[in-house]
A and B are shown apart, each in its own frame.
Chain A
Amino acid sequence: MTAQASAPAQGAVPEQAAAAPPPAQRRVKLRRVTRDGALTLFGAAFGALGLTWLLYERVLAFSGVLGFWLSWYVIFLLMYCAMAAVQWDRRAVADRVASVAFGTGGLLTCAIVADQIIYVLLRGGHVATHLSFSTHTLARTGSLSPLFSGGDLEGIVGTLEMLGLATLFSVPLGITAAIFLSEVGGAWARPVRTLVEAMTALPDIIAGLFILAFAILTLGMQESGVAAALALAVTMMPIVTRGAEVVIRIVPGMLREASYALGGSQWRTVWNVVLPTARPGLATAVVLAMARGIGETAPVLLTAGYAKGMNANPLHGWQPSLVTYIFNEHQLPDPNDQARCFGAAVTLMVLVLVLFAIARWLGGGKPGELSRRDRRRIAREAVRR
């Protein structure tokens, strides 16, 4: 490591070197992984693993894998503290322990997400990848029928229809409300923004109860896909608004001013400048709201009803969806029903992941930033002229 330090000295002019030999300067690298730092970390991790194993499995009468890793983490942090205290001063110890604690927090969160996805795929993957599973319904499946006598087609159709309708109901209203918050504003903007944020974390079951009380019991609507879509729209609309407001807000003010300077009215500016500029971000907000809406279970349970077999008409009759399908299959005791439950969970998870991937793909850049495809299109048009 000290080898490069003498490098600048070799080209020095003789008389200067004779006058005062400049002290060897070494460039300070920020955030470099040092050998002792890394070894302390690994040492603490493996030392804690050994000690935990010895105490947990051999000496003390503990059991359970979760307890093992909890004890490991506590011992790991203590060991790391001790090993750091041997080498560094107190400030550096606090700094290092804090960064390890936060780093493991981030790692834990990522591990949880990965665990959810992988566990569901492992349990239900062999069911969901069977072609007949996603092309058949449960119409002819009884309590002791074989595993692939039915599938989750009815759930897929129901979920997609409800989600489509809910998007149709919630997106125009949600984005218009976002335009109100960021473009028009006024005295009411603050309370509206507060309420929207409060509604994003509202219990989803309340939306179901509301539609049950309002549309089904008061207006006399049937329990159906549309009712469920209305309930989903109530939960999705605040999410759309919150996401869209953030995106519209970061559209550069210069673009608006340019539009006004050219004589554009306000709605022209919003329609022709602000919204197109924010389009990728808006699409991301919408798709993220859809990914949230697709998994809402409680409102659908209360408003859509459940019946085995296909019902492709959301306006009439009980309509099964993936979430109610999982909910009902889970309550049946037969192992085949449990397997189908996990198969449908894989389908649901894949739909969420696809929506999520679309959202990331659409919302890659900042608003106004041209994607590579946009730049190619502009270049093509320039050549044509």
Chain B
Amino acid sequence: MSAEMNFPHAQEMAPPDVPRRIVSRVSTGDKVFRSVVRGAGLAVFVITGMILTFLLTRAWSSFRTVGFSFFTTKLFNVNVNNFGIGALLPDGVIIAAIALIIAVPVAVATALYISEYAPSWLRRPLVAVIDLMAAIPSIIFALWGFAFLMGRMTGVDSWLARHLSFIPLFKVDLPQSLPASFTDAPIIVGVVVSLMVIPIITSLSREIFSQAPQAEREGAYALGATRWGMVRTVVLPFGRSGVIGASMLGMGRALGDAIVISFLITPVLTLTPHILQSGGNSIPYAIILDIFNGPKYVSALMAAGLVLFAMTLLINVIGSIVAGRSRSGLVNVE
């Protein structure tokens, strides 16, 4: 009141009310911090790009000499310019497929047991066991496969070969009376590699299963479902894309195994679709066998490695996107 009397023009001069603009000014320190941190994040792209660039520059001369036949030639005679991944790639894919056929059911069963069936005091130790399994070196698995599993699997293999040989996959062309026809077969590598894939698929699937919405679980129970009924109608549909994505990530890992196969298999350079028969190959195996045989081999194997890298990167990125879709929001429940 009195203020108005002393300053009669105050009201006329005051501007109309407008909402204040809220500006959060980022300090210099924060600007530096953000750009450093963003740089570290984008370093992943830089590393991937560098891998692609350097493999490509090394592989270029090989691609130029053999051209498109690189993808179809089965031999690997680098010195006479007759080489390709026509046998290496399918043989590796066969092994990875065997590994996945074994690993996916076991891993999904384990993940379901941990997230749905195990008593709560057992959950953390079981998760730790899966983490430990992921940390067991591949060379230990390879030694175990060589010294322990190989002799114990030939019985099953020869039985399959004798009784199921009408399926082309199980045919064995080598003499069946010799154990050596079975000892280093792709199926044994597949079994050992599956053990390396199980923890990847298990831990990702478990993470996703445990995020199945609680309300829907309770709803299923309230409608009278048994535990299996609840798992079948709520948890599995919720986690399906997660399991698919996790299996694709596992596939990437299985395709890249070099050590197990080098301990267990004699390399052959033919396309062998007979999984019980001795002999097999894969791109990583060829790499560690021949990389030190001179610059021409280096270039040819870099080309093979580039194909492997591009393939697994594609599979893994798709797998990671698929797995991430069912995990929207990315809240970690633990």
A residues engaging B (CB < 8 A)? 31, 62-67, 70, 91-92, 94-95, 98-99, 101-106, 108-110, 112-113, 115-117, 119-120, 123, 173, 176-177, 179-181, 183-184, 186, 188-189, 191-206, 209-210, 212-214, 217-218, 234, 237-238, 241, 246, 249-250, 265-268, 270, 288, 291-292, 294-298, 301-302, 323, 326-327, 330, 341-342, 345, 348-349, 352-353, 355-356, 360, 366
Contact = CB atoms under 8 A, between A and B. Distances in A.
Interface in B295-309: 298, 301-302, 305, 308-309
B320 A110 contact: no
B42 interface: yes
Interface stretch (B13-21, B63-71, B195-203, B267-275): B195-203
Contact of B159 (A62, A95, A173): A62
A210 B152 contact: no
Contact of B259 (A94, A116, A298): A298
B129 A113 contact: yes
Contacts of A123: 147
Contacts of B114: 106
Given A109-B129, A189-B41, A66 B138 contact: no
B40 interface: yes
Given A192-B45, A210-B50, A109 B321 contact: no
A106 B118 contact: yes
A342 B138 CA distance: 14
Interface residues of B, number: 105
Interface in B181-236: 195, 198, 200, 202, 226-229, 231
18 contacts: A64-B156, A105-B112, A108-B110, A112-B195, A112-B198, A116-B141, A117-B136, A120-B140, A201-B252, A206-B305, A210-B55, A213-B58, A246-B332, A266-B30, A294-B137, A295-B139, A330-B146, A345-B143
A113 B131 CA distance: 10
Contact of A180 (B38, B136, B305): B38
A213 B51 CA distance: 9
A199 B116 CA distance: 29
Given A106-B118, A184-B37, A113 B44 contact: no
Given A113-B133, A298-B284, A326 B139 contact: yes
A356 B131 contact: yes
Interface in B113-134: 113-114, 116-119, 126, 128-134
Nearest to B330: A249
A92 B36 CA distance: 58
B41 A177 contact: yes
Contact of B140 (A214, A348, A355): A348
Given A110-B126, A213-B57, A348-B140, A101 B109 contact: yes
A298 B143 CA distance: 15
B106 A203 contact: no
A366 B152 CA distance: 44
B283 to A, nearest CB: 8
A342 B146 CA distance: 12
B253 A188 contact: no
B256 interface: yes
Contacts of B108: 105
Nearest to B308: A203
Nearest to B298: A217
A107 to B, nearest CB: 8
A202 B256 contact: yes
Contacts of B37: 176-177, 179-180, 183-184
B51 A205 contact: no
A156 B195 CA distance: 26
Given A112-B198, A116-B195, A192-B45, 15 more contacts: A64-B159, A102-B113, A116-B140, A184-B41, A192-B44, A198-B316, A201-B250, A201-B312, A203-B258, A205-B284, A213-B57, A265-B29, A297-B259, A348-B137, A356-B131
A330 B143 contact: yes
A295 B229 contact: no
A150 to B, nearest CB: 19
Contact of B249 (A94, A112, A197, A302): A197
A356 B249 CA distance: 23
B317 interface: yes
B174 interface: no
A202 B312 contact: yes
Contacts of B302: 209, 213
A121 B113 CA distance: 29
Given A120-B144, A327-B139, A356-B132, A203 B291 contact: no
A204 B138 CA distance: 11
B97 interface: no
A129 B274 CA distance: 43
Contacts of B131: 288, 356
B176 interface: no
Nearest to B108: A105
A266 B48 CA distance: 29
A234 B291 CA distance: 20
A266 B107 CA distance: 41
A91 B229 contact: yes
Interface string B259-292: 1000100000000000000000000100110010
